[in-house]
Amino acid sequence: MRKLLLHVCCAPCLIVPFSEFSKEFDITLFFYNPNIHPIKEYKERLKTLREYSKTLNVPLIIGEYNYKSYFFNVSYPYRFKERCIFCYQIRMNETGRMATKVGFQFFSTTLLYSPYQEHDKLVRIAEFVAKEYNLTFIYKDFRNRYREGVERSKELSMYRQKYCGCIFSEFERYGGKLVR
């Protein structure tokens, strides 16, 4: 069976993509999300993913939590307005690098599941990364199954976060609006 490195943002977002991708691929999960803050949030998401990956009996690679580099790079004023794009770039680039390192030809991401992501921009970035690393990006639009995944994650009593992970997103959700 073909091997797929699947970038995972969190366990709840893995449910639907895993159910589909596992029909065609032998999957290894890759958790690389230096955007997730604070550290307590990062640890909670990782803990939930570790538990869920064990129930799925699927390997999990944990990337470096390079939060200092993330903040340094996203804090530039010219980059701040496009911080989501930058965030996709660093996560997809690291996924491509890791896929090459572990000898996989295919990669994808659970970010395709969320209706709250900038889907078209994410896909363009992932396709660019695929060309750079001579890989194949596997695209599937899971947004129409978002509610299904939410309900299943609740049935499984998974930790469910209320923002994408970056501190700026949390502020926008709970404290006000930032200028983009």
CB-CB neighbours of 79 under 10 Å: 12
AA letter at 71: F
Which residue would you say has higher pLDDT here, 22 or 163?
22
Question: Is residue 106 pLDDT above 90, yes or no?
Answer: yes
pTM across the whole model? 0.90
| pLDDT band, residue 152 (cuts 50/70/90) | very high
Query: Residues 109, 13: contact at Cβ < 8 Å?
Result: no
The predicted pLDDT at position 78 comes to 57
3-state secondary structure of 140: coil
C-alpha 71, offset from chain centre: 17
Average pLDDT over residues 4-28: 98
Q: What pLDDT is recorded for position 70?
A: 82
Number of H helices, E strands in the chain: 8, 5
Average pLDDT on 38-61 reads 96
CATH class label, 2-174: alpha beta
Span 161-176, average pLDDT? 60
Residue 74: per-residue pLDDT:
76
Q: How far apart are CA 11 and CA 4, in angstroms?
A: 17
Single-letter code of the amino acid located at 170: E
Distance, in Å, from the CA atom of 25 to the CA atom of 30, rounded to the nearest integer, reads: 15
